[in-house]
Structure 1
Amino acid sequence: MKDSEQSENRYRDEYTSEQRKNWYSNAADAYNRTRPRYPKEIIDRVVELAQVPSDANILELGCGPGIATMAFANLGFSIVCLEPSQEACQLARQNCASYPNVEIVNTTFEEWELESEKFNAVVAATSFHWISPEIRYLKAANALKENGFLILLWNIPLQPQYEVCQILHEVYQTQRTSVRPYENRETHEEDLRRIGQAVIDSGFFRDLVSEQLAYEVTYSIDDYLGLLSTLSAYIALEPQKRNSLFAGLRTALESNWGRSFQISCLSTFHVAQKI
């Protein structure tokens, strides 16, 4: 998971709390515009597995601009969303303005004042790995009602078509960047297995279920570069290095491919019940 568990653990551990709060702030607009959405099949499936009642209260951790929030709000649930980035909060409030039962709170899960045993489900959409390990499982379990569920959603952009990868690979080599542009599906799936095992090993949850759905998304060149700008490996680059890399990628794509191309994506989840 290129922008998930392993790389994000490093960014979480190496940067201060204030830097982590604002990690996605400059990329908030691009995140809102270009990050893959969670397929309805995935949302419906986790709601079914977590036995979420129609009048449920949901706590969402790190909602970003509200991508997953809107999918759950469309089903009528009441949602309290925690988001540390002010810029992402503003976008989430705009995106969720038509949902009166959605509250966006500008805070981290670590700083949030615990409301014990209030929620039917705790949801984290491509965000759970940012929360301190010593807090994430215990506090999530304490926020849940008896027999409530933890729902972890993950949207993982994999890579463009083979021919596009070949073109872009030359750019990464020329730029001599530290970024690893692509990881294969097997690598992502192994990371996902480790995340699921960590949920069970925490001792707070049981009966883990994990499923996934692969699909294709068409991106314009602008949106593809926007997508890359939301991934932590690129956020961590020096601005001049990042701009040079993106300029090279744009030139290669415009010269050799055209206006748009497809990217393989993987949407997956972990659902586990509070012990």
Structure 2
Amino acid sequence: MSQDNSRKHSFDEVALLYNEIRPRYPEALFSTLIDVTRLHEESKLLEIGPGTGQATRPLAKRGFAITAIELGVALSEVAKYELRDYKNVEIFTGAFEEITLPANSFDLIFAATAFHWIDPSVRYSKPHSLLKDKGHLAIIHTHHISDEKGDHFFNASQAIYDRYDFTDKNQKPKFLKNKELKASDIDEHLFKLTHFQVFPTTITYNVTQFVKLLNTYSNHLAAPKEVQQAFYEEMENLINNEFQGKVEKWFSMSLTVAEKI
């Protein structure tokens, strides 16, 4: 199935599930972000695509004033509920590309597993215009990485992915190792890279949890319901029959920080 930017709307269909099952970002990532961007108590932050607020909360609880722009109506409502105790957070529903915000007004603009969905025509230019002089752009990504022990589940499941057309036929799927991860691309005319770091984490899912996780990925959500159901049933059978009903998933959250020039 081809990558389609319209798929960014699909997460709104499973807002509660997304909030329940997506892996959380480690606290160390946010401590590093604060240190390298030299945030202080008066700093103003803008978050692009907060989803249900999983990356918003660690910064909100530190007292920063945060403006968050979420495209999905359902995701936005969940985020507002999850962050209801933080009066320093204001969440707007709409597209980042279309919303009007004051220029040169933010110390940090950040996006967690959302930056790649922004229209390329404004992906860097709009954050640049909204940031104060020497302000920072932070891009957080979630990577599926190799367990460096043979990736047995990944290899065993590829036939199922192929059968339901969830694999790019032009590129052999491969998990990178931590040391192979690189900083996100930036527009070097507008920003200079100042920091890159990865934060590995391992999560064990039972079969029910793992299928829930799969049901939050955009390429799966875009498939017809009958295709989704058949795919999930085959995955359940594989996990139960060959992996004792559980899957150990290796993730790495990467932090790319760039300064406005």
TM-score using structure 1 length: 0.85
Deviations along 1:215-267, one digit per CA (max 9) or x if unpaired, are 21121212211111111221222221111000111122123323433210011
Is 2:20 the counterpart of 1:11?
no
Partner of 1:223: 209
Three-state SS of the structure 2 residue aligned to 1:28 is: helix
Cα drift, residue 188 of structure 1:
10
Partner of 1:237: 223
The AA in structure 2 aligned to 1:64 is G
More helix by share: 1
The AA in structure 2 aligned to 1:185 is L
The AA in structure 2 aligned to 1:168 is S
Partner of 2:153: 164
> Moved runs in structure 1, 4+ residues, more than 4 A?
186-190
How many angstroms apart in 2 are the aligned matches of 1:172 and 1:123?
Answer: 32
Partner of 1:30: 17
Q: Please point out which of 91, 96, 99 is paired with 1:109.
A: 96
Deviations along 1:147-189, one digit per CA (max 9) or x if unpaired, are 110011112233677343344334335xx12113953115995
Partner of 1:183: 174
How many angstroms apart in 1 are the aligned matches of 2:36 and 2:126?
Answer: 22
Partner of 2:43: 56
Q: Please point out which of 150, 153, 162 is paired with 2:140.
A: 153
How many angstroms apart in 1 are the aligned matches of 2:76 and 2:15?
Answer: 9
- Stretches of structure 2 that go unaligned for 5 or more consecutive residues are none
The AA in structure 1 aligned to 2:133 is E
Contact 1:200 1:208 in 2 (8 A): no
Partner of 2:241: 255
The AA in structure 1 aligned to 2:56 is T
How many angstroms apart in 1 are the aligned matches of 2:37 and 2:195?
Answer: 10
Contact 1:123 1:150 in 2 (8 A): yes
How many angstroms apart in 1 are the aligned matches of 2:130 and 2:258?
Answer: 14
Distance 1:99 1:66, change over 3 A: same
Q: Root-mean-square deviation (CA), in Å?
A: 2.3
Stretch of structure 1 that moved more, 105-114 or 160-169? 160-169
Three-state SS of the structure 1 residue aligned to 2:38 is: coil
Contact 1:167 1:253 in 2 (8 A): no
Stretch of structure 1 that moved more, 68-77 or 255-264? 255-264
The AA in structure 2 aligned to 1:126 is T
Three-state SS of the structure 2 residue aligned to 1:172 is: helix
Partner of 1:4: none
How many angstroms apart in 2 are the aligned matches of 1:34 and 1:266?
Answer: 16
How many angstroms apart in 2 are the aligned matches of 1:60 and 1:216?
Answer: 26
Is 2:61 the counterpart of 1:70?
no
How many angstroms apart in 2 are the aligned matches of 1:35 and 1:179?
Answer: 19
Distance 1:72 1:183, change over 3 A: farther
Partner of 1:205: 191
- Stretches of structure 1 that go unaligned for 5 or more consecutive residues are 1-6
Contact 1:171 1:252 in 2 (8 A): no
